[in-house]
Structures are given as structure tokens and as C-alpha cells.
Amino acid sequence: LNGFSVRVHGVTPDELLALDRAHVWHPYGPMPGRIDPLVVTDAEGVRLRLADGRELVDGMASWWSAIHGYRHPVLDAAVRDQLGRMSHVMFGGLTHEPAVRLAARLVEITPEPLRHVFLADSGSVSVEVAIKMCLQHWRSLGRPDKRRLLTWRRGYHGDTFHPMSVCDPDGGMHSLWTGVLPQQVFADPPPAEFEHDYVQHLVDLVERHADELAAVVVEPVVQNAGGMRFHDPRYLHVLREVTLANDVLLVFDEIATGFGRTGELFAADHAGISPDVMCVGKALTGGYMTMSAALCTSRVADGISRGEVPVLAHGPTFMGNPLSSAVANASIDLLLGQDWRGEIKRIETGLRALEAARAVPGVKDVRVLGAIGAVQLDHPVDMAAAQRAAVEHGVWLRPFNDLIYTMPPYVISDDDLSQVCNAIIAAAAVP
Ligand code: PMP
């Protein structure tokens, strides 16, 4: 294979990169582009194939989503089958089996009182919808002052405006949008262990701001973009009790944690409680298509229905997209039709090999939960150099801040998983 002479749809990889640099935004990227992304031509199982012929084991599952790996025959067939019927149709005034079946399935597998499902098109939009549900609920009940949100620092909920307002206030987004973002109430980030002082801090804040709070919005059990921080699920109990006692709604953002990643189907299951609103996305479609959902209880929906405007004021063009719904149904069936708990346990055990990173100078901590593994350094990672080191070990990673981490597809073999762990340890050793 002659490296970079492989043409991708008639364009050489060099030409493609030049066009990319000139015209295409990447996540949090500058324009024109400065860093050359790797050109990926196709992917199968847990492997990404590059235009220069190299293959990389995907340690990222395309940001938590490709839980069954790429080109899974069952998911491919679900998309093809749905393509033969319709790829899209508007959802206003029309409905169809894939979306209705998906909504019913989500109600069945999420914690008990969640009952009504809004099928949106990205994680951020599902958080927007969740926040709208909460604000509209209180407005409809004649309490428009309840419009602020409480969250804990180091959170991440998406890049559109309302979700940005509940992202970490010390992060760049807040300084960029001073005066534009709604002013929310921030608690300290939850500690890993259960601490009574922290419980008191949470309870005090909710009680003090109850009259102006529409909801508490948090990532349960794992704060991912905020540093892959895990916390004791008992904090979720505390939030459930204090929100119920103070007429505040509780929103769980399970966009990253949903569908088994943490060892339970949803992170809320670690605490055995249910929020009033829950967002899912990413792995919902097995990473095949863009789709998310915001689920709410009858209490929240009833509030909205009693308002002057008794409808939920949101309706995107691609709502309930049939292709996304069909592949989401297939992905959920595939996940629940296997011993997914056993697979997550197997990956958790394999990821324990990361403990060896503790011997690397500059490594501060190693954390593993379910199918998530993270090595934290005592200094910022040289992202490009660490990524290069991983690629040299045949693994795709995306180091960030002081972290090198993985959330691999659940179908990863034990051998590939140890390759991922070795690559992380090598990346951590980059000076
Ligand atoms: N919430 C959480 C917890 C996330 O991890 C993400 C995505 N990283 C989002 C929200 C936003 O989802 P999306 O990128 O699909 O808009």
C-alpha cells in the first residue's frame, strides 16, 4: 500500500487535508485549521482505518457512543431496512413505528416514573429541552421566578447557550460569554467520597435559593469533561431528597453515562433513584446517528399542560428521525440481549492494568469505573505529543487537560484492551 497516495473518493489525503484546513471547523478548532487531523477512511469493529493504511484501536468509542463498535451487522441491517421504508419524515402531525417503539422502550428501561419522551437530535439540544421543560413547568404553575438552575462546578452539559450556563463556570466558555449566559447557582464539585460537610453545602444552597430555582441539573456519578471525576452515588440521594422537599426539579444528564457505561444501565441506578427529567444521547444509537432524548415524569408534563401555552415549545425538523430511531431500537435490543453487565465487568477488570501508570513520574491518580479508565497527571498533557505516542502504539486517544483516558467500545477484546492500556501508559510518560 503506497501510504498517502490512497485516494478518498477521488481526492488524495493531502488534498483532503488542505481543503479541511481551509474550510472545515473541528470541535473547539481555530480557522483556518492548524493541526492536521488523521484521515480515516473506514472503521470496523473497534478499528479505525487511516488513509495511510495504518489501523488504530479506538479507545474513545467516538466520544462514548460507538458501544457496539463500527459496522456492526445488526445495526447496519437496521439502517438498511429502515432506508427501504423512509429515511426521514416530519414529526409534526405524523408519527411512525420506529420513534414510538423507541420512546416506549426508553420508558421501559429508564427509572420508573419517567414517562414522556422528547426525541431530539443532539445531546446539547436534549439538555436545552430538559431545561425548557423545567422552566415551562414552573411558569405554567404561576411561579415564573423559579427560573435559575443549580449545578455543581466542573460540569459539562453541551455547547448551546442554556447548557453552557450550567457548564463549569471556571472554564473558558463562561469567560467568553460573560453577560450573555444566564447566571446560575454553583455548588462545589462533589468529592469522590461521601462527606457530610459537602452534603450540608448542597442542602444549604438548595434551601437558600429554592424560591428562584427551577431545577438542579447534574451529571450523575461521572463528571466527564470536567476531569473524569467520579463521586459517591449517595450524593444523588441527597439531591433527590432536598429537591423534593423544596419544590425544585431534578435533571440528570446521562448523555455520557447512559446505556451501561458505568456498570449500571443508567448512573441513576447506582443510587436507585429517579430524577424528574433525564437526558440521554451518544450511545443511544450505538453511535450510528445523531439522536438524543429528554424524558420527564407526568408531574413535569402535567405542569406544562396546565399553562397558558399548554404545549412544550420545541419542535426540531429532524425530531424522531426514523433512521436514528430504528438504529437506536436495534442498539438497545443488542445491548440488553447480551450479558452487558458481564462485558462491562470484564472491561473494568482489564482497565485495572492502568494501575501500572502509578509508577510513571508525574502521574497523580488512576481511576477506573465500569468501562471508563483515566490517568491523571500532575501537569497539563502535551496533547499532540501524547496523542502521537498513543498512535505509535496503534491506539486512538484524545488526551485533554491533565487527563489521558479511555471509554472503549464494549466489544473490545482483552488483547486490544491491554493495547489501549499500554498506549495510555506510554502517553502518560511523554515529558
Ligand atoms: N452532556 C454531557 C454529559 C456530555 O458528555 C455531552 C457531550 N460531550 C453533552 C451533554 C453534549 O452532547 P452533544 O455533544 O451531543 O451535543
Bridge partners, 70 (sequence order):
45
Distance separating the N- and C-terminal Cα atoms of the chain: 33
| Binding residue positions for pyridoxal 5'-phosphate | 123-124, 253, 316-317
Q: Which atom of ligand 1 is nearest to the CA of 163?
A: 10
Q: What is the DSSP letter of 226?
A: T
Residue 8: per-residue pLDDT:
60
376, 364 contact by CB (below 8 A): yes
Give the list of residues 6+ apart from residue 173 with CB closer than 8 angstroms, or none.
159, 164, 167, 181
To 5 degrees, how large is the angle CA 347–CA 351–CA 357? 175
Give pLDDT tens digits for 340-366.
999 999 999 999 999 999 999 999 999
Give pLDDT tens digits for 145-163.
999 999 999 999 999 999 9
Separation of CA 102 and ligand 1 centre (Å) = 20
| Binding residue positions for substrate | 63, 156, 282, 315, 398
Please tell us whether the domain made up of 339-428 is placed in CATH 1.20.1640.10: no
46, 411 contact by CB (below 8 A): yes
Separation of CA 255 and ligand 1 centre (Å) = 6
Grid coordinates of 326: 430504528
Q: Which atom of ligand 1 is nearest to the CA of 124?
A: 16
- Residues 80 and 330: their CA atoms lie apart, in Å, by 12
What share of the chain in percent tops pLDDT 90?
91
Separation of CA 388 and ligand 1 centre (Å) = 26
Q: Per-residue confidence at 7, pLDDT binned at 50, 70, 90? A: low
Q: Per-residue confidence at 397, pLDDT binned at 50, 70, 90? A: very high
Does pLDDT of 2 surpass 70?
no
CA atoms within 13 A on the CB side of 260: 30
CA-to-CA dists, residue 18 to 22, 37, 275, 295, angstroms: 6, 11, 47, 43
Closest Cα to atom 1, ligand 1: which residue?
A: 157
Separation of CA 218 and ligand 1 centre (Å) = 12
Residue 4: per-residue pLDDT:
45
Closest Cα to atom 13, ligand 1: which residue?
A: 123
User: Ligand 1: residues whose CB is within 6 Å?
Assistant: 63, 122-124, 127, 156-158, 219, 224-225, 253, 255-256, 281
Answer positive or negative: Cα dihedral of 191, 195, 201, 203: positive
- Residues 160 and 166: their CA atoms lie apart, in Å, by 11
Q: What is the widest separation between alpha-carbon atoms in the chain? A: 69
Assembly ipTM: 0.99
Give pLDDT tens digits for 261-282.
999 999 999 999 999 999 999 9
Q: What is the mean pLDDT of residues 118-124?
A: 97
195, 160 contact by CB (below 8 A): no
Q: Per-residue confidence at 6, pLDDT binned at 50, 70, 90? A: low
Which of 34, 3, 4 has its CA nearest to residue 20? 34
Unique residue bearing C-alpha cell 450510528? 288
| Residue-by-residue DSSP string for 269-336 | HHHT---SEEEE-GGGGTTSS--EEEEEEHHHHHHHHTSSS-S-----TTTT-HHHHHHHHHHHHHHH
Q: Per-residue confidence at 36, pLDDT binned at 50, 70, 90? A: confident
Does pLDDT of 128 surpass 60?
yes
Does pLDDT of 47 surpass 90?
yes
Q: What is the mean pLDDT of residues 379-407?
A: 96
Q: Which atom of ligand 1 is nearest to the CA of 127?
A: 10
Which of 254, 281, 261 has its CA nearest to residue 122? 281
40, 51 contact by CB (below 8 A): yes
- Residues 345 and 263: their CA atoms lie apart, in Å, by 7
Which SS3 state, helix, strand or coil, does residue 403 take? Answer: strand
**317, exposed or middle or buried, with CB in 10 Å at 0-12, 13-18, 19+?**
exposed
- The beta-strand segments (E) located in 163-227 are 185-187, 213-218, 222-223
Mutate to test the pocket of ligand 1, among 259, 282, 405 (most ligand atoms within 8 A of CB): 282
What share of the chain in percent tops pLDDT 70?
98
Q: Per-residue confidence at 297, pLDDT binned at 50, 70, 90? A: very high
Give pLDDT tens digits for 193-230.
999 999 999 999 999 999 999 999 999 999 999 999 99
CATH number given to 76-336: 3.40.640.10
Which residues are known to be catalytic?
Answer: 28, 156, 253, 282
Separation of CA 280 and ligand 1 centre (Å) = 9
Q: Reading across the β-sheet that carries 363-369, which strands appear in turn?
A: 363-369, 372-377, 403-406
Residue 3: per-residue pLDDT:
41
**84, exposed or middle or buried, with CB in 10 Å at 0-12, 13-18, 19+?**
exposed
Closest Cα to atom 10, ligand 1: which residue?
A: 157
Separation of CA 165 and ligand 1 centre (Å) = 14
Unique residue bearing C-alpha cell 432524548? 293
Q: Which atom of ligand 1 is nearest to the CA of 158?
A: 11
Mutate to test the pocket of ligand 1, among 156, 164, 284, 407 (most ligand atoms within 8 A of CB): 156
Domain boundaries, given as residue ranges, for the chain: 76-336, 339-428
Q: Which atom of ligand 1 is nearest to the CA of 225?
A: 5
Give the list of residues 6+ apart from residue 9 with CB closer than 8 angstroms, or none.
none
Mutate to test the pocket of ligand 1, among 157, 165, 222, 288 (most ligand atoms within 8 A of CB): 157
Bridge partners, 57 (sequence order):
47, 395
Closest Cα to atom 8, ligand 1: which residue?
A: 158
Give pLDDT tens digits for 226-243.
999 999 999 999 999 999
